Amino acid sequence: MIRLKGRVIVPGRVEGEALVSAQPLSFYGGVNPETGVVVERGHQLEGLNLTGKILVFPYGKGSTVGSYVLYAMAKRGTAPKAILNRRVEPVVAAGCILGGIPLLDRFNLDPVETLKTGFKVRLSEDGRVEAWP
């Protein structure tokens, strides 16, 4: 069992499968909000679906419109269950706040290096994360 502790930006208690990328992600133009599929050419997650996953990536990039894309995904049911960042930035933070998507950052261990795609992940409202293969 891997245990991490992070700063809570948007609280939530969820469990799901990790989808991990070492690359930053833009939700505006990088993700199809209707399907939840990453469409950014050359991205490590290109062609994969974020819907219902615990999405782990270093930080967001791109336009502020990305906040509204995350919000739209939450309303459509295509959003990740939660997002774990090394360090959150305003675009992802605003989108998660608007969409009610649990969001954590500033972990005691780097989630991008520690967690692997396919791990089962459980988040607590106090910022505790448990993960296992």
- pLDDT per position as a tens digit, 92-129: 999 999 999 999 999 999 999 999 999 999 999 999 99
What's the pLDDT at 119? Answer: 98
Q: What is the mean pLDDT of residues 37-49?
A: 98
Domain CATH for 106: 3.50.30.10
What's the pLDDT at 23? Answer: 98
Helix (H) or strand (E) holding 65: helix 65-76
pLDDT tens for each residue of 45-100:
999 999 999 999 999 999 999 999 999 999 999 999 999 999 999 999 999 999 99
Catalytic annotation on 67? no
What's the pLDDT at 32? Answer: 98
Instruction: State how beta strands 103-105 and 82-85 pair.
Output: parallel
Which structure tokens are listed for 47?
């062609």
Q: What are the angstrom distances between the C-alpha of 80 and each of 1, 33, 44, 74?
A: 22, 11, 17, 8
What total of structural domains would you count in the chain?
Answer: 1
> What is the edge-to-edge ordering of all strands in the sheet holding 7-10?
2-5, 128-132, 120-123, 14-20, 54-57, 82-85, 103-105, 7-10
What's the pLDDT at 38? Answer: 98
Q: Which domain holds residue 46?
A: 2-132
What's the pLDDT at 13? Answer: 98
Q: What is the mean pLDDT of residues 17-43?
A: 98
Which listed residue (21, 26, 63, 67) is catalytic? 63
Q: What is the mean pLDDT of residues 3-11?
A: 98
Q: What is the mean pLDDT of residues 27-56?
A: 98
What's the pLDDT at 12? Answer: 97
